[in-house]
Structure formats: structure tokens, C-alpha cells
Amino acid sequence: MRIETGSAPEGTRRRAGAPAPAEPRAGGAVDRILAMIELLAGADEPLRLSEIAQRLAIPKSAAHRLLSTLVEKGWAEQNAASDCYGLTLYMALLGQSQLARLKIHDLRQPILDDLAKQTRELVRLTALQRDQLVWIGSSRGRRSGLVYEPDMNERIVPFATANGKVWLATLPRETALRIALDAGLGSGRGLGPGVVTTLEQLGEELDLTAARGYGTAREEAEEGVGAVAVPVLAGGRFVGSMSVAAPMARLTEARIEEILPRLRRAAQNMALAWQAGG
């Protein structure tokens, strides 16, 4: 690593495998129809009218009008046997056309690049491979001033990194603590001054990470550097994580609050790219 200065509303009960309820959206028909398209695109199977209305927190009559519009325009279809609604191939074909026009073959890199541009910090992506987190992508948003440029080949220390904590928080506690001990928890070798050193401290960190849905690291893996990370969940399964890292001077609490909505949205997009095989 080097830091340098240079010129350069929840429903009652849902079926197994059904998507999580979409967040209610204020606004008019455009907001609602976009939310409906997102809901149908993320569903594992076609949805009933009542379920769509419930997940979008809108009246069934309004949901039916919007679905009728989507069906009329060729975006959605209704299964005659089940009365359930799903998207047609129209949106997929539009997406393929757009990707071909932009000559994008890797769906993940544009997501990293966009977040790096928004935050002007280092954005990184991990993947879970053989029960270990590994770096698989990055994008640097700052080319001058105080620049954080780590080695992408470095090992991810699970108990000392924001990405690692996000992963450990998804595991059974006994498994998470064993992984941390195997990775050197308590040894303190080659790590930053803020690293946790006991099982009790790590347990508290994982409880906090699980409760708020994101992990942080403050001078833990290395001195002078902090990060915030969120999980990438494809089909409800942890497949990796995304993080924004920066010198501690720039990664204040206020800055983290500013970054988090963008990071979470990017992670949602990354999950879609993951499922699409991008």
C-alpha cells in the first residue's frame, strides 16, 4: 500500500425464494412503474397481483392499472393459468442492445468506475472463493492529492477489514471466530493500531455490523487508512462485498453517511450483474 501526493412496508409472510419487499416510493406513476419493473426483474418467479401491490405498498387497483400498461406496451405478461405477472424479454433485449452499443463485456467494472467517480475514492470488490475473500476488482476515483493505492494482491485479513467484517457477520458466530483466530486474531502482526485483539471485541464488532448492515475499519489493517463496506447478495446469498477506502482524514462519520446510500445502491447493481454472469 502507498499513500502519496502526486499530480496524477414489510408484508406478513412470503413464499420461500420470493423477493424481499420493495421499499415504498413516494411520487407518481413513473416512480411506481419503475419500482414495479425492478420488483418483477428481481423475482425468481412470476408474482400475483396481490403480492405485487403488497410489496410496493400501493392499492391493488393502482397495481392493476400499472401492470395493464406494462402488458399493453410489451414489457410484462400475465400467465393465463396462474394469473401471475412477469417481465417479457423486451427489457433484456434493450439491455443487450445498450451493452453492445457501449461495448461493455464486463458488467462489474462500470459499476466500480461509477461509484469511484461519485465518491472520488478507491472502490474495491471482493469475491468469496474457497471460503476466503479475495480482491477481484477496483477503481480509483482520485488521481491527485492524497491518493490511497494498495496492493491488490495483498491478503484480506477478515477481522481487520471492513470487507472481512461484513463477511464474518453473515456466518454462524462459532465459524466466524474460528476463521478470525486462524487468520491471526490477537497476534497484531503487521496490522494497524486500531485492530481488534480479542474475541470479545470482534464479537461486538460483528453484532454492530450485522445490525446496521455495513462494516467499517479504522486504521485496523493499516495505519492511516479507513474503509466502509457492504455485502453483495446475489439471490439472498453472500457472494462478495464492495468497499470505499480512503485516508482517515477524509473518512469522517459524516463522509461515511454520505457514501453509504451510493455504496448500497452500487452493491445492489453489482448483485444483478453477478446474477447475469457479468
Looking at residue 149, its pLDDT comes to 61
Is residue 30's pLDDT more than 70?
yes
Q: What single-letter amino acid sits at 233? A: L
Is residue 148's pLDDT more than 60?
no
Using alpha carbons, list the distances in angstroms from residue 237 to 37, 178, 212, 240, 274. Answer: 22, 21, 18, 9, 11
Q: Model confidence over 95-115: pLDDT tens digits? A: 777 766 655 457 889 999 999
Looking at residue 43, its pLDDT comes to 85
Task: Choose the most confident range, by mean pLDDT, from 42-46, 182-186, 240-244.
Answer: 240-244
How many other C-beta atoms can be found within 10 angstroms of the C-beta atom of residue 95?
Answer: 13
Is residue 201's pLDDT more than 70?
yes
Looking at residue 197, its pLDDT comes to 93
Answer yes or no: CATH 1.10.10.10 is held by domain 29-95.
yes
Is residue 256's pLDDT more than 50?
yes
Looking at residue 89, its pLDDT comes to 85
Looking at residue 211, its pLDDT comes to 97
Where do the structural domains in the chain lie, given as residue ranges? Answer: 29-95, 108-275
CATH class held by domain 108-275: alpha beta
Question: What average pLDDT does this structure show over 201-217?
Answer: 97
Looking at residue 2, its pLDDT comes to 45
Q: ∠ at Cα 47 (43, 50), nearest 5°?
A: 130
Distance CA 170, CA 116 (A): 26
